[in-house]
A and B are shown apart, each in its own frame.
Chain A
Amino acid sequence: MSSTVTKAIDSAAVLARWSLGALFVYTGLEKGLDPASFLKLVRQYDLVQTPFLLNSIAATLPWFEVFCGLLLLAGIAVRGTALTLAGVLIPFTIVVWRRALVLQAARAIPFCLVKFDCGCGMGEEFICHKLLENIGMILVVFWLLAGGGRLLAWRYSLFRGNEISAANPLFSS
């Protein structure tokens, strides 16, 4: 692969990392600054029965996302953060999809016409649009997990300092 193509891919990966990080910071703040509304949305999924667990999810998940978003923006522990976000995004996408199926059955409308606030921080969205959005985010997460987004990373890896210095001359750990 030519160096030009490699540079283009590296640049695209870092843009993807920044975009994903910014998105998580934005949606996390949207929810974190109004946790009561997020609490009501989380409750609709009927995931947990005890108030403590329900409150804990609603109170901490938004700020958890903000923290991970900031790490991606700064380029700190990128692959560890990507793995963490995969652990959040994939189950949440399944939960949203299942909720949409319930709503589709209740409203007797085509699947893609199901529109609801999934608690994702973007307000009401059509489910097909939301699922595509999440699939896009999951793909970016896997790209970062595979080693993308090293460029302009402040501390790409927490435990493999030498690898970072060699891979990224712009920053050293």
Chain B
Amino acid sequence: MSNRRSTPAIVLEAVVVVAAAVGFAVAANGLSPRGLNLARDYFPQSTGRVVETHLPQPVAVSSSSTNENSEVAEIDRRIKEKGLQPMGRAETERLFHDPRYQEGLVIFIDARDQAHFAEGHIPGAYPLDRYHPDKDLAADLTPCQTADQIVVYCTGGECEDAEYTAILLREAGVPNEKLFVYGGGFEDWSASHLPLEEGARLSGLAPGGSK
């Protein structure tokens, strides 16, 4: 009987708890420097226009690499579905060593968050956290306008932040023809023992903190 009588009180209490918790949650998100903008579309729909890239595509070299190649093909398909151009590791590495990279005609954009960027990134890459673009977007647009080719990357694999960052740049006025997405991303780059930089952009710090 006691429990039956207290049921409305518990429900009312739950309503008060929910209301207070929602208020707390909205305030916490608003105050947090990493909070989300509720009105923003973080995953804009694909343009529906599939871009045909003219870059060399990966070729299967052995049966053991079949899974890897199918994964690359899947990522490339996903990138093209968003109207963007995929770029493989070989081409990304070639651009990294291209003299135009030193002249700022080829640039890299790291679409991961600040913490991951500081832990390691492609040397000279510009940071652009698309969830908090206010800090970096304006600064990154200038080199993007002068560059001939812009390679955007994130973690790689299932990570779609590079694609959405490229779309963000496209919406900010960067021509789509200049934008490429390195689907393998940072995991592929670091697993291939290619050069890395820690800390801030152009810090010159190699992994481990040595110059």
Q: What number of A residues sit within 8 Å (CB to CB) of B? A: 38
Given A63-B24, A67-B24, check contact A35 B14 (CB 8 Å). Answer: no
A121 at the interface (CB under 8 A from B): no
Task: Find out whether the CB atom of A59 lies under 8 angstroms from the CB atom of B16.
Answer: no
Q: Which residues of A contact B34 (CB under 8 A)?
A: 33-36
B13 and A64: CB pair below 8 A? no
Number of interface residues of B (CB under 8 A): 35
B9 x A159 contact (CB < 8 A): yes
B194 at the interface (CB under 8 A from A): no
Which residue of the partner chain, among A51, A63, A159, A160, contacts B42 with CB atoms under 8 Å?
A51
Bound-state CA distance A13–B30 (Å) is: 35
Q: Is B21 in contact with chain A by the CB < 8 A criterion? A: yes
Q: How many A-B residue pairs have CB under 8 A?
A: 108
B38 interfacial by beta-carbon distance below 8 Å: yes
Choose the segment among A3-11, A80-88, A103-111 that binds chain B (4+ C-beta atoms closer than 8 Å). Answer: A80-88
Prevailing SS type, chain B contact patch = helix
Q: Chain B contacts of A137 at CB under 8 A?
A: none
A113 to B102, CA, bound (A): 48
Query: Known contacts A51-B42, A64-B21, A68-B21; is A35 also within 8 Å of B29 by CB?
Result: yes
Instruction: Verify A55–B25 contact, CB threshold 8 A.
Output: no
Contacting residues, chain A, for B29 (C-beta < 8 A): 32, 35, 59-60, 63
Q: List B contacts of A145 (CB < 8 A).
A: 10
Known A51-B43, A63-B28, A79-B10: A84·B17 in contact at CB below 8 Å: yes
In the complex, are the beta carbons of B9 and A43 less than 8 A apart? no
Complex Cα spacing A157 to B2, Å: 14
Which residue of B is nearest A68, CB measured? B21
User: How far, in whole Å, are A81 and B17 apart by their CA atoms in the complex?
Assistant: 6
The residues of B that contact A114 with a CB separation of less than 8 Å are: none
In this complex, what residue of A is CB-closest to B159? Answer: A40
Shortest Cβ gap from A114 to chain B (Å): 16
B36 in contact with A36 (CB, 8 Å): yes
Q: With an 8 A cutoff between CB atoms, is A77 at the interface?
A: yes
Binding site for A on B (CB under 8 A): 3, 6, 9-18, 20-22, 24-26, 28-29, 32, 34-43, 113, 129, 131, 160
Sample (24) of A-B pairs whose CB atoms are under 8 Å apart: A36-B129, A39-B42, A43-B43, A54-B43, A55-B37, A55-B39, A60-B22, A62-B25, A63-B24, A63-B29, A66-B24, A67-B24, A68-B21, A77-B13, A77-B17, A79-B13, A80-B12, A80-B14, A80-B15, A83-B13, A84-B17, A87-B14, A145-B10, A160-B9
